[in-house]
Amino acid sequence: MRKSLHGIHHITAISSDPQANVDFYSRILGLRMVKQTVNYDDPSVYHLYFGDAVGSPGSILTFFPFPDAQAGKVGNGQVGAIGYSISAESIDYWVDRFSRLGIKFAGPFERFGEEIITFSDSDGLPLELVADSNRAGQSWSDSPVPAAHAIKRFSSAALLVSSNGSTAELLTDILGFEKIAEEGNRQRFAAGSSDDRQLIDIVVDPQGRRGIPGPGTVHHIAWRCLDKDQEDWRKTVAKQGYNVTSIIDRNYFHSIYFRENSGILFEIATDEPGFTVDQSELELGSRLSLPPWLESKREDIVRKLPSLSIGTKPVSQIE
Ligand code: ZN
């Protein structure tokens, strides 16, 4: 069998207000903040992780919030819309929930035979709910969204590029994804096994503007691999001429990074050791977690970070 990565591990985006991240992703979308930590390269900035009950690979959207940064612009050379999987029976629930909470959305409409609703977070990050009934992942028991309608993990992600070719080849010939469909300027690739599949779309727009990094845009997308395979993946990517980093310890996973030819930053991250390496499942996200090498500076780091209200129950001004 051809070697293949196991789909999306996590996606990391830039935001402005960390509190707005918590309010939107936990209180409106019903995801669990499984980890609050800092950017290891700049501990004055939070790094917030939202996912399913345990932060399963394939469910994790993370943010670097820069409260004073100028908004970015989504465009070519970036990941565009991020799709979350919901049950086909949940479309009405989400239409009603968004309407009630004043979240602007479009749809439902159909793409590749699936119903989708499109919307954005408070920074304008493009998101979609996709009724693909992929039930992988564990819903979070304290979620304000009932388990039957819960978002558990990503359905898909779009890669925005200005020309066809090299990105598609990278996905199929090197990363091992399978091209399964094409509709207009959108090509669709499948990753993972058939009962645990995620979809990657390449959207080609030669006239599209180039993305500008900043709040409301994706910083990078990470693909999944096992620890034992990571060095092989590093060698495979390097052999194809990509400038790939050595393996970096991200505390919850190990990572390598490289930029594909359209400019999108790719990471390959391991499933191991996961988010329970420094907190029990019950405690996930309940306090600031720091890696061993920053723990001695905790007081100083906490003083410089904006305060964050992480109450898990919906706040009265939202519901
Ligand atoms: Zn990452």
Residue 3 lies in a domain: no
Q: How far is the CA of 223 from the centre of ligand 1 (A)?
A: 9
Q: How far is the CA of 89 from the centre of ligand 1 (A)?
A: 32
Please report the DSSP string for 220-231 in residue order.
EEEEEE-GGGHH
Residue 1 lies in a domain: no
pLDDT at site 139:
84
Domain count of the fold of the chain: 1
Residue 106 lies in a domain: yes
Q: How far is the CA of 221 from the centre of ligand 1 (A)?
A: 7
Checking 119-122 for CB contacts under 8 A at 24+ apart, the result is 120/216, 121/15, 121/20, 121/21, 121/24, 121/25, 121/216, 122/16, 122/17, 122/20, 122/23, 122/24
Q: How far is the CA of 120 from the centre of ligand 1 (A)?
A: 21
Residue 276 lies in a domain: yes
Q: How far is the CA of 84 from the centre of ligand 1 (A)?
A: 18
Residue 2 lies in a domain: no
Residue 233 lies in a domain: yes
CA separation, residue 182 to residues 112, 168, 186 (Å) = 9, 12, 6
pLDDT at site 107:
92
pLDDT at site 312:
52
| Residues shown for the chain | 319
Residue 16 lies in a domain: yes
Tokens of 213: 């990094």
Token pair 């399913």: residue: 52
The answer to whether 48 and 65 have CB atoms below 8 angstroms apart is yes
Residue 73 lies in a domain: yes
CATH of the domain at 55: 3.10.180.10
Q: Look up the domain containing 295 and give its range.
A: 8-317
Is the pTM value of this prediction over 0.85? yes
- What whole-number distance in Å separates Cα of residue 262 and Cα of residue 132? 29
Tens digit of each residue's pLDDT, the chain (319 residues): 458 899 999 999 999 999 999 999 999 999 999 999 999 889 999 999 999 999 999 999 999 999 999 999 999 999 999 999 999 999 999 999 999 999 999 999 999 999 999 999 999 999 999 998 777 778 888 899 999 999 989 999 999 999 988 999 999 999 999 999 999 999 999 997 766 789 999 999 999 999 999 999 999 999 999 999 999 999 999 999 999 999 999 999 999 999 999 999 999 999 999 999 999 999 999 999 999 899 999 999 999 999 898 865 444 444 4
Q: How far is the CA of 94 from the centre of ligand 1 (A)?
A: 29
- What whole-number distance in Å separates Cα of residue 165 and Cα of residue 206? 12
